[in-house]
């Protein structure tokens, strides 16, 4: 269907040098969008063909506005934004420091808001319109042990998505989100693989579809939300977790 095409659109995907962000950038590219990618490191070889790339540390106070400025320089008609950048810095609760807490909120919450604000100002100056997708997590809906800062930041993104949808509707900008569950990424693999015999098997029993997700499992929902097929959808969050949060017990 042409409604799912992103031909003629230009998208910035933050945190798209690897994992979910990279898969989303590739998906948007395959749907026809021109893509600007972002990461901390030098340009990875795995980016979509023809994609622009902006490296920067979003924890720097001026980084969100600078990122949007550079993305617009690469794609002046930028009309689509996927806020995926984020990470996990938690330690056991009694060991949490102010520095780790602040770093979590700076990257996961603060940078997302100010990236959206800079993007919205750009779109408003061009007459409005556009689409934003914010990547939260099932941790924003269900808590996890020793994950208070991360859970809080992801819960904040859930409400930020809804609140931004209200505020930006006046400018014709749709704001939606996805909440991935357990997805196999460089971040999750570091703790998941060493416990393949117990913790991973536990999750595979709990996930109704029976397996941990892959980054590509998130691309369809994001592409849909960015496309005209979702033109009457705003303020919604799609959970992508294989049924992890649906059942209390898991697979029968």
> How does pLDDT run across 231-240, given as a tens digit for each residue?
999 999 999 9
Identify the pLDDT of residue 230.
98
Q: How far apart are CA 210 and CA 13, in angstroms?
A: 29
Identify the pLDDT of residue 197.
67
pLDDT at 82 over 70: yes
Identify the pLDDT of residue 167.
98
User: What pTM was computed for the model?
Assistant: 0.96
CA atoms within a 13 Å half-sphere pointing along the CA-CB vector of 125: 10
Three-state DSSP at 154 gives helix
Give the residue-averaged pLDDT of 92-98: 97
Mean of per-residue pLDDT scores for the chain: 95
| Rounded (5°) CA angle 184-187-190 | 85
Q: How far apart are CA 114 and CA 58, in angstroms?
A: 10
- pLDDT tens, 23-81? 999 999 999 999 999 999 899 999 999 999 999 999 999 999 999 999 999 999 999 99
Sheet of 173-180: strands edge to edge?
Answer: 52-55, 34-39, 10-13, 80-83, 130-135, 173-180, 237-240
Contact indicator for 1, 26 with CB cutoff of 8 Å:
no
Q: How far apart are CA 44 and CA 16, in angstroms?
A: 10
Identify the pLDDT of residue 189.
79
Contact indicator for 206, 99 with CB cutoff of 8 Å:
no
Name the pLDDT band for 83 (thresholds 50, 70, 90).
very high
In the chain, where are the structural domains located? 2-240
Q: How far apart are CA 16 and CA 93, in angstroms?
A: 30
Name the pLDDT band for 1 (thresholds 50, 70, 90).
low
- pLDDT tens, 196-222? 667 788 888 999 999 999 999 999 999
Domain 2-240 has CATH 1.20.1250.20: no
Q: Which residues are catalytic?
A: 150
What is the Cα 107 distance to its own chain's centre? 12
Query: Which two structure tokens, joined as six digits, stand for 177?
Result: 């989100």
- pLDDT tens, 117-151? 999 999 999 999 999 999 999 999 999 999 999 99
pLDDT at 5 over 70: yes
pLDDT at 177 over 90: yes
Give the residue-averaged pLDDT of 84-103: 97
Query: Which two structure tokens, joined as six digits, stand for 144?
Result: 């996890």
Identify the pLDDT of residue 199.
79
- pLDDT tens, 215-231? 999 999 999 999 999 99
Q: Which residues pair with 179 in a beta bridge?
A: 239
Contact indicator for 171, 120 with CB cutoff of 8 Å:
yes
Query: Which two structure tokens, joined as six digits, stand for 120?
Result: 């919205």
């Amino acid at each position: 269907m042409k409604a799912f095409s992103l031909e003629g659109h230009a998208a910035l995907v933050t945190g798209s040098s690897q994992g979910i962000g990279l898969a989303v950038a590739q998906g948007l590219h395959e749907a026809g969008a021109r893509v600007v990618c972002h990461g901390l490191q030098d340009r990875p070889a795995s980016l979509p063909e023809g994609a622009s790339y902006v490296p920067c540390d979003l924890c720097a106070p001026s980084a969100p506005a600078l990122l949007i400025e550079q993305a617009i320089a690469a794609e002046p008609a930028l009309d689509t934004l996927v806020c995926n950048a984020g990470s996990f810095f938690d330690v056991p609760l009694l060991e949490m420091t102010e520095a780790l807490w602040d770093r979590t909120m700076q990257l996961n919450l603060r940078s997302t808001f100010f990236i959206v604000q800079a993007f919205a100002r750009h779109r408003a100056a061009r007459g409005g319109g556009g689409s934003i997708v914010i990547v939260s997590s099932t941790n924003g809906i269900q808590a996890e042990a020793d994950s208070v800062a991360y859970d809080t930041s992801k819960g904040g993104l859930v409400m930020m998505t809804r609140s931004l949808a209200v505020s930006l509707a006046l400018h014709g900008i749709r704001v939606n989100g996805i909440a991935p569950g357990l997805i196999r990424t460089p971040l999750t693999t570091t703790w998941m693989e060493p416990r393949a015999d117990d913790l991973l098997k536990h999750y595979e029993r709990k996930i109704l579809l029976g397996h941990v997700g892959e980054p590509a499992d998130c691309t369809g929902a994001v592409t849909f939300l960015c496309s005209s097929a979702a033109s009457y959808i705003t303020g919604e969050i799609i959970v992508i977790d294989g049924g992890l949060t649906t059942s209390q017990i898991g697979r029968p």
